[in-house]
Every structure is written in structure tokens, then in C-alpha cells.
Amino acid sequence: MSQIEADFQQVVGFGQQISSRTQMETTVLLALLLQGALTLSLTDNSVPTLRFVAVGDWGGVPNAPFYTAREMANAKEIGRTVETLGANFILSLGDNFYFTGVQDAKDKRFQETFEEVFTAPSLQNIPWYVLAGNHDHLGNVSAQIAYSKVSKRWNFPSPYYRLRFKIPKTNVSVAIFMLDTVTLCGNSDDFLSQQPERPKDLKLARSQLSWLKKQLTNAKEDYLLVAGHYPVWSIAEHGPTHCLVKHLQPLLVKHKVTAYLCGHDHNLQYLKDKDGVGYVLSGAGNFMDPSKKHQRKVPDGYLRFYYGARDSLGGFAYVEITSKDMSITYIEATGKSLYKTSLPRRTVP
């Protein structure tokens, strides 16, 4: 870990809290047994690599036991994956606490849905880098930011921020821009397939977008990643986020961003656009939704992988970045490798 340089660049300005409640989804998942050993091949540790897990929509439920069978299965498999393959950090892609976020930094949900679920020994010293989802904005996002001072694992310095890493033993650099897509686009009821209509505070939205444009314009890193809760492209229940297709997608292409990572739709998807930008959707940390209702809203040829089996325990994405390329492996919570792909290192001017 000492090889890795993590450079937070924090910004001022909090997203507006949304007070309306979302319709609660009835949790009907029966307890499922974890089965099978990790089927991934062991990583070649002789190659300097930056590794991380990307998981979204893992935020349990607001009633006892405050987690779901899927969340617990994912927590155990993430622990096994990190123990077996290694990881430098975990990216949390939003909807960290269903259904209405948390109220303050002492909220019991931090313990019941996070600390007491992700208990594997391999995860105790792994930092989490966190962003907010629409359900988090139904509570107090500033409380999740404040919890960074309470937990040694939880890192959420501001509503949007930059991370910078170097691949160990190399000068190859990686930048990750963590966004608040709810502040950028507005809130939505994801169980009613609602599109975010407009930002609550237009000034905050413009400020964030201006920040991102400046950051991407000046970025010289070998890999550029952008992460947010809402998807740019998705074939599933919510479909493409119109606001992001209009305002974010052109920036990803213009600045040759390697990939955009997100959640919101409760399944696993990988898409790649005609300009080579990868779209990693990892929203299967707590629920699974088999919907493909927006398949026709995504350009032909973009979708490369989709997994939303209703009886699945869910899963997450495992990312490995070397001086050569960035590989993404989708792992089911049973340990099964579902799909693997790669994206090339950027050509930096």
C-alpha cells in the first residue's frame, strides 16, 4: 500500500437533501447458501498492478437485520476475492443505505449495514472511497461525509472529489473522479423507473460540471476513470440517464476517459461506445432486477455483457490496472467469474 499515492482534491458544496420518501421495495429473497469456491485464476503478482472492487447499491434494508442475504453474500465474496487476489481499495457506487440514507454520523445503520457486514479480516485495512446515490440523498449526505472521521475505512471527503493513484513500482498514474450525479441531475425514485428531471440546485450542478470539465482538461494521467451513481448507458429498468447522456457522455469522449463506473440499476452490465469508452455498471450489491426494458434505448453494439438473474445472489466488478491495460472482471457472489474484458492505457498527449 505504501507504493500507492492517494491524492484527495476536495471541493466545497453539498448536494441538497431531498425530503420525499421512496416507495419501499418488499424484500422477498429467501436465505441462499453460498456455494462453490472462487473460480478466478490467481493473479500474477509479479506484474505491478493497482486493484480494486467496485460495488454499488449494497445498502441493506431499514428493518432488522438491516442487511439482505445478497448484501451478506457479496460482503463474504468480496472478502474472499480480496484475500485471494488482493485489492488496494473499494469503490462504493452509491445507495449505501436503503431506503432513506442515514440521519447523522452516529446513525446505527453505519454499524448494522456496513461495519458489521463487511467483517472479513482481509477487508479491515482496505479503504472505501464513497459517493452518494439517490437513496442516500433521501437522508443526510453530510452525515455520510462526517462518518469519514469516525471510521478508519470510510472515505467520503466531499460530495465530489478526485482520487489519484500510482501503480506500484511504476510511474503509471490513475485518476478517478467521484461525482454526485444526484446533485448534478436531480433525484429520482428508482423503484418507479423515474428519470431525474432537473437538479434541485442549478448553481451546485453547474459548479460540479465546471469542476469536472477543468479537471479532465488538465488531466495527464495514463488512466482516467469517472464514477457516479446514475448510469450513462443502461438497458435495464432505468435506462440511459438523459441528463448524463447530454452533459457527461460528450466529456468522457472528448477527454478520452478510460471508463465510467456506476450503479443504480440492480444488475451487472458492461457497455462500450463507438469511441472506446467503457461503461461498468455494478449495481447488484443488494437487489437483483432482470429488466431489459430499455434495450432499444441504447445504441446497437454498445452492450457487451448483461447479468440480472432474479435468483442470483448478485455480484460486483473487480478491476486490475497495469502499465499495459485495465481489466474488468464481473464476479457473482458465489465466486463465479461471469465476464472479463479489458481497456487499453490512454495515449497521453
What is the distance between the alpha carbons of residues 261 and 281, in angstroms, rounded to a whole number? 6
Strand pairing category for 268-272 and 303-307: antiparallel
Is there a contact between 137 and 18 (Cβ–Cβ < 8 Å)?
yes
Reported as half-sphere exposure (CB side, CA atoms, 13 A), residue 192 has a value of 12
What is the distance between the alpha carbons of residues 58 and 109, in angstroms, rounded to a whole number? 13
Q: What angle do CA 84, 87, 91 make, to 5 degrees?
A: 130
For residue 163, the surrounding DSSP H or E stretch is strand 161-166
- Residue 231: name the closest of 218, 223, 240 by CA: 240
Residue 229 annotated in ligand binding: yes
Q: Is 2 exposed, middle or buried (0-12, 13-18, 19+ CB in 10 A)?
A: exposed
Residue with grid cell 443502461, as numbered in its chain: 234
What is the distance between the alpha carbons of residues 50 and 221, in angstroms, rounded to a whole number? 14
Q: Which residues contact 326 (CB under 8 A, 6 or more apart)?
A: 223, 258, 259, 319, 320, 342, 343, 344, 345
Residue 266 annotated in ligand binding: yes
Residue 98 annotated in ligand binding: yes
What is the distance between the alpha carbons of residues 47 and 202, in angstroms, rounded to a whole number? 45
- Residue 104: name the closest of 57, 145, 62, 63 by CA: 145
What is the distance between the alpha carbons of residues 175 and 188, in angstroms, rounded to a whole number? 28
Binding site listing: 57, 95, 98, 134, 229, 264, 266
Binding site listing for Fe cation: 57, 95, 98, 134, 229, 264, 266
